[in-house]
Structure 1
Amino acid sequence: MDNGRENNADREMGLQDEVIKKLEDKEELSVERIFENKEVPSWRKQLTTRAFAVSFVLSVMFCFIVMKLNLTTGIIPSLNVSAGLLGFFFVKTWTKVLEKSGMLKQPFTRQENTVIQTCVVASSGIAFSGGFGSYLFGMSERVAKQSAEAKYGLDYKNPAIGWMISFLFVVSFLGLFSVLPLRKIMIIDFKLTYPSGTATAYLINSFHTPEGAKLAKKQVRELGKFFSFSFVWGFFQWFFTAGDDCGFSNFPTFGLKAYKYKFFFDFSATYVGVGMICPHIINVSLLVGGILSWGILWPLIETRKGDWYSADLDPHSLQGLQGYKVFISIAMILGDGLYNFFKVLRQTLAGLFYKFQRRNANMQIPVVEDSSRVRKSLSYDDQRRAQLFLKDQIPTWFAIGGYFALAAVSTATLPLIFHHLKWYYIIVIYIFAPTLAFCNAFGCGLTDWSLASTYGKLAIFTIGAWAGASHGGVLAGLAACGVMMNIVSTASDLMQDFKTGYLTMASPYSMFVSQVVGTAMGCVISPCVFWIFYKAFPDLGLPTSAYPAPFATVYYNMAKLGVEGFSALPKDCLKLCYGFFAASIVINLIRDALGKKRSWFIPLPMAMAIPFYLGSYFAIDMCVGSLILFVWQKINRAKADAFGPAVASGLICGDGIWTLPSSILALVGVKPPICMKFLSRATNTKVDKYLGS
């Protein structure tokens, strides 16, 4: 569940599986025959001004949403459906007005809809891979000071608009070129599934049929209704947050004792919506992790105060209880990440071996084995799609030349931004990056899991250890993480988009251009959005903040652990870390041994690890969302499946967008008028006596 898009909240979405299954049945009726009489526009006509205008507006909206999620819990659900749906709604409304006035020159097509979705997801994806809630903010003095003093001084680099935008521009485009020559092999030869890209394509195709357009209108109406409710609810809550621990977000739902250990419902529309999108097992796993840590483990460790750690330590010192919270969660994250890395690597190598065997057995493309597969491979839809996909060829020399040119610029520029990141570290990263980007893109095509931050963690430990603690190894490791993470993340995103474009008959040219434009938008929008949060909330990144940025602390301490070793851990913490690391692997082994159908009751270690640091309040919100969807499905499953994602997206978007005006109010010094705080009866009596005197 590490900071978002590779997590199970994003990757094990039952919604996608259901959408793909239902629409694959319709595929037998031939989707392309429905659009047979509609001309496929040239790639230039797919890249319209209105598409990029709508993409820019949606990119700003989605960057605020992703940034808020990044800086609160790091759980980021898939927003592809929301992007496709809102893009369809805005442009459809635009074209309808122009059509009535007789000024419409070009109708709205599914290819243009795909361009918008690709551009928005590429842009908001930078808010994740840019590391604003992880490695990039983890470099800051604010996060570094939360750790115990380093042996070789405190290494940090505070955020600034200039260097953040420069950094993203020199590292975010290499991933697009690293796997570009392999698009035909991945999409046509190997016929990789890319479930997220496939589900998005089927939805976009359905939007542009008469029946699908009617449903899309109703979905947008529901999204708008809950968007408005969520936004107004966020505005209403703001009035009661005039001080620390004030407002509905600090409501002691289960009593003050439970509140002390982070068990309460904080009335967050965002996480109720996220809970509706995430599978039930994710939400339950989060709650189990919260109960295990804040309900059992931390109260037990607190009894060892004065023995395992000093009773005089600051509550947020990593040499005290806070250290157990951070490092045990790191152990579980690393155990789960390492297990899934080798699992996906094994599947990738096995898949490659199988695909190459089939290809060698029959050099005809698409590769086939029997008559039923022949019929499927030579279907009308496959023929039309493959013909267009292969028509607009992107030259191999362009991809290779682009990669080397960008790598040269990056190698020369990055040491100027991060003095501890030497040019030879960067060259080594760029030598291995294309191979790792291919592994990530191929594994994502098979499993829908992008292991971007797992590859980033490998860079943290290898480059950090190579640099050494006395030579800025912490900053070098975090910067290397950013370089690697951006490459492998954008590579898998590009292949997802190529799969979407293949199924919607969008040109590879338009897909690549929209990805480049979206990435460029993200390189500017994301740092600006983060800067608003950074300036508006002076306590950003602190454990007591509304925006604690938990993964920033986790990443910094991973880098510190990599260069300083286990001496950074408090007493007996290492033994507990070993135990939870092993438990994470064992739980995964049990899940895989039982199979998908029988492992629904086994919690996910990565999901369990997040509340270890943050508490269970957001898990309770997500379980409420999960319960709402569960009851809805029992009452009317068809309606819940059709409108559940739209309702959830509305809740997430409305509350997420409220952060923009709330940030502006904070920047200009406008403070809420009321502090709603909850006290125990004894404390309240003391306050009354004090005020009475």
Structure 2
Amino acid sequence: MDAGREMKDDEHCSSMEILEVDRGIEEIENGSRKHSIMAVESIFEGDEAPSSWRDSLTVRGLFASVILGTLFSFIVMNFNLTTGYVPSLNVGAGLLGFFFTKTWMKVSAKLGFKQRPFTRQENTVMQTCIVAASGVALSGGLASNMFAKSRMVAYQTGEEHDPANIKNPNMGWMIAFLFAVSFIGVILAEPLRKIMIIDHKLIYPSATATAHIINGFHMPQKAKLIKKQVSTLIKCFSFSFVWSFFKWFYSSGDDCGFESFPTFGLQAYENRFYFDFSATYVGVGMICPYIITISLLVGSILSWGIMWPLITRKKGIWYSEKLKDNDLSGLQGYKVFIGISMILGDGLFYFTLILIKAIRDFSKEYRKKNSSLVVSVTDAREPSLNNVDQSETERLFLTDRVSKKYALMGYIVLTAISAITVPIIIPELEWYHILVLCMIAPVLIFSNAYGCGLTDWSLATTYGRLTIFVFSLWVGMGDGGVIAGLASGGIMTSIVYLSTDLMQNFKTAYLTHTSPRSVLISEVIGIGLGCLISPCVFWIFYCAIPHERSYPNQYINPIMFRSIALIGVKGLSSLPQYCLVLCIAFFFASIFVCGLKEIAKHYKMRIYGWMPSMMAMAIPFFIGPYFAIDMCVGSVLKVLWMKKNKGKEAESLITAVASGLICGDGLWKLPYSILALFKVNPPICMKFLSRSTNVKVDGFLGRL
């Protein structure tokens, strides 16, 4: 999904502000969103004083986090075993946390116990802990990387029995591994939160929608506009939930239901050009900058409209005709590695640019100190916390933070702990492998946090798959390269995913006036809980699987991860022809376009606002165009809405509409996952056939 960024006026721009999109569009959005935040805070003023970070951390919140974190871990584990795609559960965590606590308070009141007020800050902290606890089920790779090491999965990939490349799951080593690697990414997210949320104003759509939900439920009922916003949000939320439930009835089977509606014809549908009626993506399209939606569409056309059809014609020449569609030695290899190369080019460019500007600022500060002009580093690079123009929200967000010096020291210490402990747990990995992973991680963390802020897509598992390939290639088959690759991929996924997850929670905290320190502590507590809960949940799934060669076909994700490792140990020659050349070309093309954007921005050229985001362009390369089309529909609806309704009220209501659509579809994922877990299937399959195929089907049925 997509998240926009807004520019400040030139005189207030920080030296770290890069990556902004069209100036005119964003100034309008910046003003309206600042007005929206101020309006929300003005409603709470007098009814609720912002809680200290200690007040937000409660026993009832921790208890709810354990219960709901366990429930969400089952949901995440089921998704991760099957599709590998886990939707954002922030919205569901915020909603269930609210209702769980309200129920707790009613029961306690009837029993005669006095209860403290339930604030939006406590709700935000609780949501953070729940999502962090369940997130370990994905970030730790229990149902993917770890399971792929097992003998059971090795049988499915047709390997010969090789003890050096098999490590069966065990509760002991899995828990130890998770505790050794799961906290590294959290400490790296802390220094980036000002850059991502204050400087670049990234939206993080799911986090923003969650904040609107939390604010709406805790809102004092006294403002007409706020009441109208909440009413609009609830209506759209209800519609989105019911619509998702309605779609489920027609999706029994592959390529069934509204998600497979061939909007632009069957030929376009084969190339994933269709509108899949997703309320989530339509809602995201309503709140994202238009240039990001356009970038997604351009990337979709370039990849699925031009490149992949042309490369498909080379089937049998560039790669074998016998390969499956998801085999990295075939077309899938082009999709994954070219897309990743564009993302890495974009992320590396801006990471380097920020690093250069930070070094320049530190250099200036050092010269000032030598000139006896004592100015703190914080004051030199950030607006004063006493600045009367700065909102109370930003003051709170910038006050509660960890010093960059301590963050760096913490990262070094956690890296050292991992470098010592992980080789004991996974002997195929050496200490220097861990150091290399942790040296690369900051660039990927920045890229993923930036991309997630733009589109709401976390590509942590994609980076993990790339890491599997690289480290399997490095170690080799004879030295346990499959196990080493899978373990390194799990470490990278954990670092990148959890740091981005925390960044989303910081965005929710920013919009709900919650102390970032309490969110950070809640994240750490949630991860600790997840390191204990997730292996237990996985063990339940693992024990339910028949331990024999007839492995359940629906659990495809572990097989895919092991297949990537097997390709890696065979070397670069296993990649399809010209794949590496194309990756290098797109990597440098991404850097070139980013450089042109910075030049256009520096000289205030009008073309700057029309230059695409390479990060946004790259995402459809391996996901497909369908979600970009949904987002375009959302953007079109926003244009029509704003033409019909003028003023700030219209802008506020369109945000409520978008949040309601995202939240309703997000909450449906909970009952949907529970139904799937208990193998309750939809009753109807609605499928679309061509005329000739339909005639054949009718003829076949007529002969029965």
TM norm structure 1 = 0.72
Aligned counterparts of 1:13 and 1:144: Cα–Cα separation in 2:
47
Aligned counterparts of 2:29 and 2:222: Cα–Cα separation in 1:
13
Which of 491, 513, 520 pairs up with 2:521?
Answer: 513
Amino acid at match of 1:233: W
The residue that corresponds to 1:268 in the other structure is 278
Which of 409, 414, 420 pairs up with 2:422?
Answer: 414
Cα distance change on mapping 1:161 and 1:619 into 2, 3 Å: farther
> How far 1:95 moved relative to its partner?
7.0
Q: Deviations over 1:135-191 (max 9, x none)?
A: 6788789999999999x99967788887665533332224456798x89xx989xx9
Which of 570, 574, 599 pairs up with 2:580?
Answer: 574
The residue that corresponds to 1:346 in the other structure is 356
Amino acid at match of 1:587: V
Amino acid at match of 1:607: A
Cα distance change on mapping 1:622 and 1:468 into 2, 3 Å: same
Cα distance change on mapping 1:38 and 1:284 into 2, 3 Å: closer
Aligned counterparts of 1:468 and 1:334: Cα–Cα separation in 2:
25
The residue that corresponds to 1:608 in the other structure is 617
Amino acid at match of 1:304: K
Is this contact kept in 1: 2:449–2:500, CA < 8 A? yes
More moved, 683-692 vs 211-220: 211-220
**Equivalent residue of 2:608, what SS?**
coil
Q: What are the equivalent positions in structure 2 for 1:123-138 lying under 5 Å apart?
A: 123=133, 126=136, 129-130=139-140
More moved, 533-542 vs 415-424: 533-542
Cα distance change on mapping 1:690 and 1:369 into 2, 3 Å: closer
More moved, 277-286 vs 140-149: 140-149
Is this contact kept in 2: 1:13–1:278, CA < 8 A? no
Cα distance change on mapping 1:193 and 1:115 into 2, 3 Å: farther
Amino acid at match of 2:525: V
The residue that corresponds to 2:59 in the other structure is 49
The residue that corresponds to 1:587 in the other structure is 593
Which of 416, 425, 435 pairs up with 2:433?
Answer: 425
Q: What are the equivalent positions in structure 2 for 1:632-671 lying under 5 Å apart?
A: 632-636=641-645, 638-671=648-681
More moved, 79-88 vs 663-672: 79-88
Identity %: 48
More moved, 672-681 vs 605-614: 605-614
Aligned counterparts of 1:163 and 1:539: Cα–Cα separation in 2:
27
Cα distance change on mapping 1:599 and 1:187 into 2, 3 Å: closer
Aligned counterparts of 1:618 and 1:46: Cα–Cα separation in 2:
37
> How far 1:108 moved relative to its partner?
3.9
**Equivalent residue of 1:45, what SS?**
coil
Is this contact kept in 2: 1:238–1:672, CA < 8 A? yes
Aligned counterparts of 1:469 and 1:345: Cα–Cα separation in 2:
38
The residue that corresponds to 1:545 in the other structure is none
Aligned counterparts of 2:28 and 2:580: Cα–Cα separation in 1:
43
More moved, 471-480 vs 485-494: 485-494
Is this contact kept in 2: 1:437–1:487, CA < 8 A? no
Q: CA RMSD in A?
A: 6.0
> How far 1:265 moved relative to its partner?
1.6
Q: Deviations over 1:288-308 (max 9, x none)?
A: 222222222222233333433
> How far 1:678 moved relative to its partner?
1.7
> How far 1:261 moved relative to its partner?
2.1
> How far 1:688 moved relative to its partner?
2.0
Is this contact kept in 1: 2:77–2:538, CA < 8 A? yes
Which of 175, 179, 191 pairs up with 1:169?
Answer: 179
Cα distance change on mapping 1:494 and 1:692 into 2, 3 Å: closer
More moved, 681-690 vs 380-389: 380-389
Aligned counterparts of 1:28 and 1:660: Cα–Cα separation in 2:
33
Q: Deviations over 1:613-662 (max 9, x none)?
A: 34322222222222223322333363453244443343334334434433
Structure 2 residue 334 is the aligned partner of structure 1 residue 324: yes
Q: Deviations over 1:94-127 (max 9, x none)?
A: 8799999997542344643553354356446646
Q: List runs of 5+ in structure 1 lacking aligned partners.
A: 543-547
Q: What are the equivalent positions in structure 2 for 1:89-104 lying under 5 Å apart?
A: none
More moved, 199-208 vs 579-588: 199-208
Amino acid at match of 1:570: P
Amino acid at match of 1:632: W
Q: What are the equivalent positions in structure 2 for 1:361-440 lying under 5 Å apart?
A: 362-363=373-374, 376=387, 404=413, 410=418, 414-415=422-423, 418-423=426-431, 425-426=433-434
> How far 1:260 moved relative to its partner?
2.1
Q: Deviations over 1:413-445 (max 9, x none)?
A: 534654422355346656x59xx7699689989
> How far 1:567 moved relative to its partner?
0.8
Is this contact kept in 1: 2:675–2:681, CA < 8 A? yes
More moved, 408-417 vs 454-463: 454-463
> How far 1:264 moved relative to its partner?
1.6
**Equivalent residue of 2:387, what SS?**
helix
> How far 1:266 moved relative to its partner?
1.9
Amino acid at match of 1:480: S
Cα distance change on mapping 1:531 and 1:443 into 2, 3 Å: closer
**Equivalent residue of 1:513, what SS?**
helix
**Equivalent residue of 1:376, what SS?**
coil
Aligned counterparts of 1:209 and 1:311: Cα–Cα separation in 2:
60
> How far 1:90 moved relative to its partner?
7.5
Which of 621, 632, 637 pairs up with 2:630?
Answer: 621
Aligned counterparts of 2:488 and 2:90: Cα–Cα separation in 1:
28
Aligned counterparts of 1:575 and 1:153: Cα–Cα separation in 2:
35
Structure 2 residue 117 is the aligned partner of structure 1 residue 107: yes
Amino acid at match of 2:487: A
Cα distance change on mapping 1:397 and 1:571 into 2, 3 Å: closer
The residue that corresponds to 1:305 in the other structure is 315
Q: What are the equivalent positions in structure 2 for 1:231-246 lying under 5 Å apart?
A: 231-246=241-256
**Equivalent residue of 1:684, what SS?**
helix
Aligned counterparts of 1:507 and 1:620: Cα–Cα separation in 2:
37
Is this contact kept in 2: 1:85–1:220, CA < 8 A? no
> How far 1:257 moved relative to its partner?
1.8
Q: List runs of 5+ in structure 2 lacking aligned partners.
A: 7-18, 546-550
Q: What are the equivalent positions in structure 2 for 1:206-225 lying under 5 Å apart?
A: 218-225=228-235
Is this contact kept in 1: 2:91–2:667, CA < 8 A? no
Amino acid at match of 2:481: G
The residue that corresponds to 1:480 in the other structure is 488
Is this contact kept in 2: 1:80–1:117, CA < 8 A? yes
Is this contact kept in 2: 1:533–1:663, CA < 8 A? no
TM norm structure 2 = 0.71
Amino acid at match of 1:520: G
Is this contact kept in 2: 1:344–1:443, CA < 8 A? no
Which of 462, 467, 473 pairs up with 2:475?
Answer: 467
> How far 1:247 moved relative to its partner?
1.9
More moved, 604-613 vs 12-21: 12-21
Cα distance change on mapping 1:92 and 1:47 into 2, 3 Å: same
Cα distance change on mapping 1:205 and 1:423 into 2, 3 Å: same
